[in-house]
Structure 1
Amino acid sequence: SGLGPRVYVSEAWVTPAEELAKYIRPDELHTTFNFDALMCEWTAASQRNVIDLTLASTGAVGAPPTWVLANHDTTRVVTRYGRSVTGARFTPTGIDHEAFAGIGAVPAGATDVALGRKRARAAVLLELALPGGAYVYQGDELGLEEVEDIPEELLQDPTWERSGHTVRGRDGCRVPMPWSGTQAPYGFGTAETPPWLPQPTDWSGLTVEAQNRDPNSHLALYRTALAERRANPALGDGGLSWVEGLPEGVLAFDREPGFRCVVNFGPEPYSLPEDAEALVASGDVSAGVLGADEAVWLRR
C-alpha cells in the first residue's frame, strides 16, 4: 500500500493477564496496553506481582510485554498516587477482585499532589527499566495532575449527560497540555480561541517552556531516562532477575550487563550499595541514600 510497516495495538480491558495475552499471539495483534500495570497500587508486593504476571503471560505467547501508567480514560497518575488508595492489589495469581470491588466504595478523599508527583517520578523509572515497550500518556511527562474542578457547564464527556449528571467523566485527564506562557491557555490556542476544556490557573510552572529551564523538572527526568534507556545495552528487550533479601517495601531487579533498578515504596530511607554508580534518579541520591517513594538506576 506504500504506507510502510505498521504496528497494531490492542486497547483491551481484559484480566487476568493470560487472557489478555490471547490478543497478542503470533497470528493476532502486535502488542497491547497493560491495564493491570495501570490499575496496580503503589506497593512493592503488588508491583512485583504485576511484573511477574505480565512477563509470564507475554512470554508464553512470544510477545513483547508493555507497561502503562495512565491513559485518556483514567485519573492521572499524579492524582491517583497522591491518594490513600492508589490502585488495586495484586496477588501472585492476579488482581484481588474482592479488594478491587471495594475501591469504588472508598471516597477519593484529599489528594497530596506533591506526594503523587514524587511517586509518579519513581514510577516512570520503574516503567522504563522493565523489559519491553512503554506507553506515555500526554502530560504525564510534565507531571500534570487531574483537573477535578471543571465547571459542570463546561464538561464535555458524554458520561456526564448519560449518567444524569451523577458521574463527571474523564475530562479531568483530558485538559489540554500547557506549552508556554504564564496564563491560560498556555500556548494551546489563544485567549480569543480558548481550548475546549479550561486549564488550571496555577499551571504556569508546569509548562514545557518552564520545565525546559529546570534541570530537575519532571520533563527533564523523562528526557534523561529515555536517553539512558536508548543508550544502555541492558535496557529494552531481555529479561530481569529480582534482588532478594531487601528491606520490606524496597523492590530491585538486575538486568545485564551491569544494570540495577531500585524503587523504595517504604517509609524508611534505603542505603544504596557503595560500589554502585547512579545513572538516573527520581530524587537526590548524592548521599548514597534512596528516600521514600523514590527510584534510581544504578550501574553495578
Structure 2
Amino acid sequence: MSRISSDPTWWRQAAVYQIYPRSFADSDGDGIGDLPGVTSRMAYLSALGIDAIWLSPFYPSALADGGYDVDDYRNVDPRLGTLADFDDMVTAAHTAGIKIIVDVVPNHSSNRHEWFQAALASAPGSPERARYHFFDGLGENGELPPSDWPSHFGGPAWTRIVETAGPNAGSLGQWYLHLFATEQPDFNWDHPEVREDFHTTLRFWSDRGVDGFRIDVAHALVKDMSLPLRSKPLLEILVDDGTDPIFDRDEVHEVFAGWRSVLNEYDPPKAAVAEAWVPFTERRLKYAQPSGLGQAFNFDLLQAPFAAVKFRTIAQRCLLEAEASGASSTWVFSNHDVVRHPSRYALPDGSTHADLEAWLLADGASPELDSARGLRRARAATLFMLGLPGSAYLYQGEELGLFEVADLPASSLQDPTWFRTLNTVKGRDGCRVPLPWSDSEDNFGFGGGPWLPQPDWFADFAASVQDGTAGSTLEMYRSALKIRRELQSEESLEWLSEPAAAVVHYRRPNGWEVITNFGDAPAELPFGVDHSQVVLSSGELHVGSIGAETTLWVAP
C-alpha cells in the first residue's frame, strides 16, 4: 500500500535527492546505471530520510551531453530500462513514501529527434524547419554563421548543414542554432506545435504517477530571432530587463503559465522547479511565482565561499525572495553540473572559478587539496543549510562525502565541453563517476565495469563502510534528515548572532537552534546554549565550545 502523502505543499520543505541514473546503480551488469538499479536501492533512499527523488534524464539519447540530448521525451532509454521499469520504480518509491521528480529538457532536443530529422530532410522554409531555428548564413555565399553567439560548451552556437532537399540538395545550406552541443538543436518556442507537444509530455509523465518536474535551462526557451540577430559576446552577460536576445526574456513566462495550467489539472497539482541561472532578484522571482513553475533554484550558496557573512547574507536574501514570490527557497551545494563541494572547499581560500578549472585540468594535482578541511567545511555547510526553511536538493554521493574525481584519464572523458574547447576545459565527468556501494565487491558494488572508472580511494567512502559508523558522513545525513522533519514546522527563522560574527546562530520557531562556526579556531558556545542540548554536530563535540568549521544542532 502506498504511503505517499497527498499534501499539495509537500515540495515547500522537501529534501530532494538527485539521481544521475547512469551512475547510481547498475542492475544488469552492463556498466550503466538503470531504473531497476534505482528500485533496488529504494530501502537505502528510504533510510536516508529523503522526501523525493529527482531523476536526471533517462530518455532515449545518444549521450552527446549525458542524456540531456533527448531523442524521445516520452520513453525510456533501452539501456536504462523500459516504461514498465519506470512504473515499478514509481510504485516502489511511493510505497516508501518518496515522491518522484523527473527532468524535462525543453530548450533543445537531440539531433536524432524525429522532428529534427524531418527538418534535415525538408527544404529551407518548410514547416518542419519552423520547429527549430534555421537561418541562412552571412557572407557572400552564406559561409558565416548568422550571429556571433557562442555555445555554452565552447565554439559557435551554429552548425551548417548539407541540404538534402530542394534545388540546393547536396550543397552546404542553412545553419541551425544550438546553445549547447552540436547534437542539441534549440527548439523554436514561438511555434505552437512545440508548446503543445511539451504539454503532452507533462501529461504523459504525470499520468504515470510523477509528482513534479525539474525544468532544465528554463530561462533560455524564448529568444529574439528577429533579423539582424543582435550580438551576444558572452553567455554570462545578461540584460536585467527581460530584453536579452537569448536568456531570461519576459515571454518565457507565457510558456510557463501554460505549463502551470497543465500541472494544475491534477489533484494535488504537480510541482515544478526551474533551473534558471538568473542573478537578478526580481527576475528570479518570476519563475517561482504561483502562476508559473512555483519554485526556482537559487545557486547562491553553491557559488559562495565558505564564509560567515556570505552564508548569512545569502540566506537572508533568498528567504526574502521566496516570501515575495509565494514560493519557498531552495538550497543546493552540488549537482551533476559542478565540482563536488568538498573539493571546492578544499582548494586554497580565494580560489576563483578559473583556479578551479586549472585544478581540474591538472588532474587535481596542483594545488594539492586540503581534503580534511574540505570535508569538514562540507559537513558544516550541509547542516547549516538543512536547518534553513525551504527545500534542500542533495546530489547522489554527497551523503558519502565524495570528492570530485579530478584525475579521470583523458581517454575516458565524455563531457562535450572537453571536446568543444579542444581539451582546455575538463568538464563535468568528475562528479558523475558511479557510486561506491561496497568496499568488498567488484566495482564497489555498482554493478558491471562502470562507464567511468572509479578511483581506489572510493573504498574508504563506500556506503558499506559508513553504514552504522558513528560520526560518518552518511550517518550525519541520516540523522539530520530525520530531525529536519521536526525542525521544518514553519518557514521562518530568527537570527541570534550579529551580522558580521564568525559564529552564525539562528533559531527556528519551534525552538531548534543551528550554530555554525565559520572560523578556523574553536569558539565559545553562545550564551544560553548548554552543551547537553546539542543533538547533532558536523564535527567533534567540545564541552562549552564549538569546534572550528563546525555546525551544531541544538534541541529546544
Cα offset, 1:205, TM superposition = 1.6
Measure, in 1, the Cα distance between the counterparts of 2:312 and 2:321.
14
Measure, in 2, the Cα distance between the counterparts of 1:134 and 1:21.
18
1:59 aligned to 2:323?
A: yes
Unaligned 5+ runs, structure 2 = 1-202, 210-265, 360-366
Residues 47-71 of structure 1, C-alpha deviations (whole Å, 9 max, x = no match): 1111111011111111111111111
Measure, in 1, the Cα distance between the counterparts of 2:353 and 2:404.
18
Measure, in 2, the Cα distance between the counterparts of 1:162 and 1:155.
12
Query: Rg larger in 1 or in 2?
Result: 2
Q: In the alignment, which residue of structure 2 is the partner of 1:115?
A: 373
Measure, in 1, the Cα distance between the counterparts of 2:545 and 2:500.
14
**1:279 equivalent among 535, 542, 545:** 535
**1:265 equivalent among 518, 531, 535:** 518
Unaligned 5+ runs, structure 1 = 88-101
Q: In the alignment, which residue of structure 1 is the partner of 2:423?
A: 165
Correspondence list, 1:1-300, <5 A: 2=207, 3=209, 5=268, 6-85=270-349, 103-104=353-354, 108=359, 109-182=367-440, 185-190=443-448, 194-230=449-485, 232=486, 234-245=487-498, 248-272=501-525, 273-275=528-530, 277-300=533-556
TM-score computed with the length of structure 2 as normaliser? 0.48
Measure, in 1, the Cα distance between the counterparts of 2:388 and 2:489.
7
SS at match of 1:21: helix
CA contact (8 A) 1:14 1:20 kept: yes
Residues 76-110 of structure 1, C-alpha deviations (whole Å, 9 max, x = no match): 011001112467xxxxxxxxxxxxxx642675432
Cα offset, 1:253, TM superposition = 0.6
Kindly provide the amino acid, as one letter, of the partner of residue 264 in structure 1: N
Kindly provide the amino acid, as one letter, of the partner of residue 429 in structure 2: D
Measure, in 2, the Cα distance between the counterparts of 1:131 and 1:115.
27
Measure, in 1, the Cα distance between the counterparts of 2:372 and 2:547.
15
TM-score computed with the length of structure 1 as normaliser? 0.88
Measure, in 1, the Cα distance between the counterparts of 2:417 and 2:442.
26
Q: In the alignment, which residue of structure 1 is the partner of 2:8?
A: none
Cα offset, 1:153, TM superposition = 0.5
RMSD between aligned residues: 2.0
SS at match of 1:263: strand
Q: CA, structure 1 residues 35+274, in 2 after alignment: closer, same or farther (shift >3 Å)?
A: closer
Cα offset, 1:264, TM superposition = 0.4
Identity of aligned residues (%): 40
Q: In the alignment, which residue of structure 1 is the partner of 2:137?
A: none
Measure, in 2, the Cα distance between the counterparts of 1:118 and 1:41.
14
Measure, in 2, the Cα distance between the counterparts of 1:136 and 1:86.
25
CA contact (8 A) 2:331 2:393 kept: yes
Q: CA, structure 1 residues 132+217, in 2 after alignment: closer, same or farther (shift >3 Å)?
A: same
CA contact (8 A) 1:85 1:103 kept: no
